[in-house]
Structure 1
Amino acid sequence: MPNKLGFWLIWILFSVYAFIFAPPDRPDTLQLIQKLSTGDWQGTNALIVALFNLMGIFPFIYACMLASDGRGQKVPAWLFASLSFLAGAFTLLPYFALREPNPTFIGKKTRLISALESRWTGIGLTAIASYFLFYGFANGNWADFVQQWQTSRFIHVMTLDFCMLSLLFPWLLSDDMERRGMSSDRFFTFIALVPLVGALIYLCLRSPLIESEQEANA
Structure 2
Amino acid sequence: MSRAPRPAAAAGIVVVSWAAILGVVVGFGWLITHQLKSSVNPWDNDVSRWFADQRSSTLNPLGDIGTFFGETMVGWGVAALAAVVFCVWRRTWLPALFMGLVAAGIGGLYAITTSIDTRQRPPVKILDPGLVPDHSFPSGHVATAVAAYGGIVLLSLVYARASRRWVWLLLVLPVFVLLARLYQGAHHLTDVLTSVVYASVWLLVLSRTVLSRVPVSSGR
| Structure with greater proportional helix content | 2
Shorter-chain TM-score category? 0.3 to 0.5
Normalised TM-score (structure 2): 0.33
Normalised TM-score (structure 1): 0.33
